Amino acid sequence: MKKIGVPRGMLYYENFPFWKDYFNEIGYEIVVSKKTNKDILDNGILNSVDEACLPVKIIHGHVDYLKDKVDYIFVPRVVSLYKREYCCPKILGLPEMIKNSIEDLPEIIDTIFDLDKRSGLESGYRDVGKYLNVSNKESSKAYKKAYSQKEKYNDWIRAELLPMNYKFRPNNINILVLGHSYNVFDDYINMGILDKLSKRNINIYTAEDLSSEHIRKFSSYTKKRLFWTHGRRIVGAANYYIMNKEIDGIIFLSSFGCGLDSVLTHMVSRQSTIYEVPFMNLTLDEQTGEAGINTRLEAFLDMMKWRDKDKSYISTFR
């Protein structure tokens, strides 16, 4: 059976259960790169352009890990997922960056998914099928099977990516961990922040707990319509939890070198200041020492406890 490599980075965290079922259904074996580690990070830095953001560097490391283990590597060019909305330019250009930066690659499946121009994901999957000499009929059947149970995505997140008992501890602090899914769920680049919170009995909330309808509705409460789908997701989730008073604080995990995050952190922090929800931004970069993140986390949690006692004496913003 031929093998398709899936790098464990970026859009993997939004799509893997669907990709896996689609490729298995058309008769291909999936090989996922290892979890991010120091070698993958170092190879990613070595094999990518300096200007790239951290997640783009990391996915280069995952592709480099897979390149001599598989027949193809799946790096789709995801341009747009909704009408009049786009993904970040670095997501659009990802296949090109990879093909021009890493030597001796197997064939890259870089199918375009552009839902601003074409309706439905299915047409994109038909193009994937064409790469692999699979008929439109077979491809559509595999697509329908892969997407027949949307809830499998959340089941996967709960089973594989969130700590056990990540939520539902009554009378404990509730924190929204916000950011791109590749920052929230890659526990190497965020230095295990979900586990650190869970070990302190803190309930963890993420954007993935919400339906896309909720996210899109609450993202429209900002004055300016965001045309980045991933930005809408982050702002919509923040608005939902803040306005419904479901959380006691927000930790925003942003990426070093991300233009989008520089705007989104500002938007979310402003909203959290208005509603007096404690907010902390951690910018993830290439350094791997944990002391900085531990210190900031402790300081944030202490601030929340003091604030709870002294109410308005302590600022919500850190």
Residues at the site binding ligand SF4, with contacts judged by CB under 6 A = 53, 55-56, 88, 90-91, 180, 230, 255, 258-261
Count of CB atoms situated within 10 Å of the CB of 73: 27
Least separation in angstroms between CB 264 and ligand SF4: 9
Least separation in angstroms between CB 80 and ligand SF4: 14
Assess contact for 3 and 29: CB atoms under 8 A.
Answer: yes
124-134: burial string, b at 16+ Cβ within 10 Å, e else = bbbbbbeebeb
- Shorter beta-carbon distance to ligand SF4: residue 78 or 301: 78
Within 13 Å and on the Cβ side, how many CA atoms surround 47? 26
Assess contact for 4 and 73: CB atoms under 8 A.
Answer: yes
Least separation in angstroms between CB 110 and ligand SF4: 16
Per DSSP, the three-state class of 177 is strand
- Shorter beta-carbon distance to ligand SF4: residue 237 or 304: 237
Q: What are the two backbone dihedrals, phi and then psi, of residue 72, each rounded to the nearest 5 degrees?
A: -140, 155
Per DSSP, the three-state class of 108 is strand
Assess contact for 1 and 26: CB atoms under 8 A.
Answer: no
* Single-letter amino acid code for the residue at 39: D
Within 13 Å and on the Cβ side, how many CA atoms surround 45? 10
Closest CA to 295 of 306, 282, 284: 282
